[in-house]
Amino acid sequence: MCRARTAAPGLPRVWLLQGQADFDDHGGSLITSQGLGEWCDAPLAFTGLAFPVLGDLLSIMRIAVDVMGGDHGCGVIIDGAKLALAENRKLTEIHLVGNQEEIAAHLRRIHLHIGPRVRVLHATQVLTMEDKPVDAVRKKKDCSIVRAIELVRDGKADAVVSPGNTGGILAAGTFRLRTLPCISRAAIATVMPEPDNEFVLLDAGANTECKPWHLAEFAIMGSIYAREILRKPSPRVGVLSNGTEEMKGTELTQAAVLLCKKLELNFLGQVEGHDLFNNHVDVVVCDGFVGNIVLKTCESLARGMFAMLKRELTANPKRKLGALLAKNAFRTIKRRTDSENYGGAPLLGLNGVVFKAHASARERSILNAIRVATETLEFNVNQAIAREAAKAAPLLEEARKAGGGAEV
């Protein structure tokens, strides 16, 4: 049961960060961002002590990178981390997690030295794509995904980026970090490009079976992510269905719509496939079964369209000339639709920042995944989710009881 606490009249509310305190070389207190703690009643005199600590915290960004989970070996992941260190001065530390010998060998090749900004954590095991996520996380306790997430749990890192097994990342995150207060399930949020906009699709594959209150939680999380990361002041939220009329959809989507209407959202109701790519909606909510099909269908369609264009535009000399004249336009389209520019997808709802990069991620993709992870920390996305979830907790708890749900 989620217990939201309110501040006493006339007193500010202070966010207590749970985690180990550490000290920098100058004696300044550095409190980790692990654990969101809770809002508490606090007199103004106490907040005077908290402000310098929070100021220090905002300047600290420590990212754990699982270097063993990608398709192209640890070298590509390390190269992406090196790019991130060069481009992002806010990045205080990178923890490279994986086989120490392989990591050290590649660091020597690229002339990157272990030091204050580069740390290595040895992991003796790797979670493969063939492993069953839950069983593997329990049996392979020294795998790179688990060790990276434990750095966040233990307050030694602030976020995780991994191109590894999606189910393994979700299982390790759920077991080691748990979910945020008043959130019952984490969801994968994927940013989808469209001609004049971008929208957030969630859940993109974490939960194949959902209840209405899960979709309501996804709506809250997606709205905050679109607002803070995509910089949309009032994100338009819709539940994906087979039509916009009230009688359309399933029992799940209809019940989710009724719940979402009662939340503090810019809620459109049901949206359908035609609405996704015409700048009609900013957050598309669905269960993971539907979301994963939508995501993979869009990826496959994009690849197919580019293949058809390439074949037709190179069919004869005249078409090749036309393609040459339109080369810059095609480059722009490719750049807009290239998944590497978006880096990775966050697992929203976990009590820590966790990003899933694509298994085939190259250097630029890892760079961008780390960039968005730092933005998620900078804009306090998890804190905002916890606040809004606490507001909605009574409504969602009532829905759970009415639906016979036992989940918190």
pLDDT at 59: 60
Residue 236 CA to residue 223 CA, distance in Å, equals 8
Q: Is residue 357 part of a domain?
A: no
Residue 3 CA: distances (Å) to CA of 18, 219, 269, 396, 401: 17, 21, 29, 13, 16
For 279, left (φ over 0), alpha (ψ -120 to 50), or beta? left
Q: Is residue 406 part of a domain?
A: no
CATH of the domain at 105: 3.40.718.10
Residue 53 CA: distances (Å) to CA of 21, 27, 74, 383, 384: 10, 12, 36, 16, 19
**Which of 60, 81, 102 is the C-terminal boundary of a domain?**
60
pLDDT at 69: 83
Nearest alpha-carbon partner for 158 in 247, 62, 299, 290 = 62
Query: Which H or E run includes 23?
Result: strand 21-23
The token pair at 397 is 């708890």
Q: Is residue 161 part of a domain?
A: yes
Residue 284 CA to residue 312 CA, distance in Å, equals 34
The predicted-structure confidence for 329-372, as pLDDT tens digits, reads as follows 888 877 777 777 777 899 999 999 999 998 888 899 999 999 99
Q: Are residues 298 and 274 in the same domain?
A: yes
Residue 41 CA to residue 154 CA, distance in Å, equals 26
- Would you say 395 and 261 are in contact if contact means Cβ atoms under 8 Å apart? no
Q: Are residues 128 and 241 in the same domain?
A: no
Cis peptide bond prior to 66, omega within 30° of 0: no
Q: Are residues 199 and 313 in the same domain?
A: yes
Q: Are residues 42 and 70 in the same domain?
A: no
Strands (E), 67-221: 93-98, 118-122, 159-162, 187-188, 190-194, 197-202
Burial of 359 (0-12, 13-18, 19+ CB in 10 A): middle
Query: Which H or E run includes 267?
Result: strand 266-271
Q: Are residues 80 and 217 in the same domain?
A: no
Q: Are residues 192 and 250 in the same domain?
A: yes
pLDDT at 22: 37
Q: Are residues 193 and 324 in the same domain?
A: yes
Could you please report the per-residue DSSP string of 30-74? EE---S---EEE--HHHHHHHHHHHHHHHT--EEEEE-SSSTT-H
Q: Is residue 389 part of a domain?
A: no
Q: Are residues 238 and 316 in the same domain?
A: yes
Q: Are residues 112 and 138 in the same domain?
A: yes
Q: Are residues 143 and 222 in the same domain?
A: no
- Residue 81: give the domain boundaries: 62-177
pLDDT at 309: 86
CA 147 to chain centre: 19
Q: Is residue 21 part of a domain?
A: yes
Q: Is residue 239 part of a domain?
A: yes
Domain count, the chain: 3
The token pair at 203 is 């859940």
Q: Is residue 321 part of a domain?
A: yes
Residue 406 CA to residue 244 CA, distance in Å, equals 31
Q: What is the pTM of this model?
A: 0.81
Residue with tokens 């009643």: 41
Helix (H, G, I), strand (E, B) or coil at 12: coil
Q: Are residues 193 and 330 in the same domain?
A: yes
Residue 181 CA to residue 386 CA, distance in Å, equals 6
**Which of 177, 201, 220 is the C-terminal boundary of a domain?**
177
Q: How far apart are the first and last CA of the chain?
A: 6
Reading the chain (408 residues) residue by residue, the pLDDT tens digits are 564 444 333 333 333 333 333 333 333 333 333 333 333 333 323 223 333 334 444 567 999 999 998 888 899 999 999 999 999 888 999 999 999 999 999 999 999 888 889 999 999 998 888 888 888 788 899 999 999 999 999 999 999 999 988 899 999 999 999 999 999 999 999 999 888 889 999 999 999 999 999 999 999 999 999 999 999 999 999 999 998 888 899 999 999 999 999 999 999 999 999 899 989 999 999 999 999 999 989 888 888 888 898 888 888 988 888 888 888 888 887 777 777 777 789 999 999 999 999 888 889 999 999 999 999 999 999 999 999 999 999 999 999 888 765 554
pLDDT at 245: 87
Nearest alpha-carbon partner for 124 in 101, 90, 158, 150 = 101
- Would you say 316 and 142 are in contact if contact means Cβ atoms under 8 Å apart? no
Q: Are residues 28 and 166 in the same domain?
A: no
**Which of 282, 312, 336 is the C-terminal boundary of a domain?**
336
